[in-house]
């Protein structure tokens, strides 16, 4: 496992333990972070902290890194098994997604998602298929 892969695996573990500050400390102060819940981006550590704080009030995401790769732009692309539950533990969405990290000088400067669907869209789609 490369240094960046180990760095990211540690962050996934911290995320699943809800150790927000540990992850935020691994970001550049001017980080650009994909808003996987609603789409778009949030900018800066404080905005990421607020985004996650609000997210964890509504859903319980769990992430399992399955595969680490580096793309042609030297970004770290992680294939992730993403499970989203509501606060009562009911499954809302279960998907494999790609999460893309740009790491500069040991800190995350950019986080992007490889999918076009937001978490909200995944939940809505799963809910619709469950109703049929």
Which is nearest to 123 in space by CA: 82, 77, 88?
Answer: 82
Which tens digits make up the pLDDT trace of 91-121?
A: 998 999 999 999 999 999 999 998 666 666 7
Please state the domain count of the chain: 1
Given this model, what pLDDT does residue 37 score? Answer: 82
pLDDT of 20 higher than 90? yes
Given this model, what pLDDT does residue 124 score? Answer: 75
CA distance 113 to 6: 20
pLDDT of 122 higher than 80? no
Q: Which of 24-33, 64-73, 121-130 has the lowest mean pLDDT?
A: 121-130
Give the three-state DSSP class for 58.
Answer: coil
- What is the 3 state secondary structure string of 93-107? EEEEEEEEEEEECCE
pLDDT of 130 higher than 60? no
Given this model, what pLDDT does residue 75 score? Answer: 95
Give the three-state DSSP class for 60.
Answer: strand
Q: CATH no. for residue 113?
A: 3.10.450.50
CA distance 3 to 36: 25
- Tell me the whole-structure pTM to 2 decimals: 0.86
Secondary structure letter of residue 42 according to DSSP: E
For residue 27, list its beta bridge partners: 108
Q: What is the domain range of residue 77?
A: 3-131
- In whole angstroms, how far apart are CA 111 and each of 10, 53, 88, 132? 16, 18, 29, 35
Here the contacts of 17-21 (C-beta below 8 Å, separation 24 or greater) are: 18/56, 20/49, 20/52, 20/53, 21/49
Which tens digits make up the pLDDT trace of 34-86?
A: 998 888 999 999 999 999 999 999 999 999 999 999 999 999 999 999 999 99
């Amino acid at each position: 496992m490369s240094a960046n892969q180990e760095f990211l695996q540690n962050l996934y573990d911290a995320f699943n333990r809800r150790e927000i500050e540990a992850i935020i400390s691994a970001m550049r102060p001017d980080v650009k972070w994909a808003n996987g819940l609603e789409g778009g981006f949030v900018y800066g550590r404080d905005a990421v902290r607020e985004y996650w704080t609000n997210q964890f009030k509504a859903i319980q995401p769990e992430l399992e890194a399955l595969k680490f790769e580096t793309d042609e732009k030297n970004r770290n692309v992680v294939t992730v098994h993403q499970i989203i539950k509501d606060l009562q533990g009911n499954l809302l969405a279960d998907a494999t997604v790609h999460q893309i990290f740009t790491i500069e000088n040991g800190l995350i400067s950019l986080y992007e998602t490889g999918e076009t669907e937001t978490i909200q869209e995944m939940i809505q789609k799963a809910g619709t298929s469950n109703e049929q």
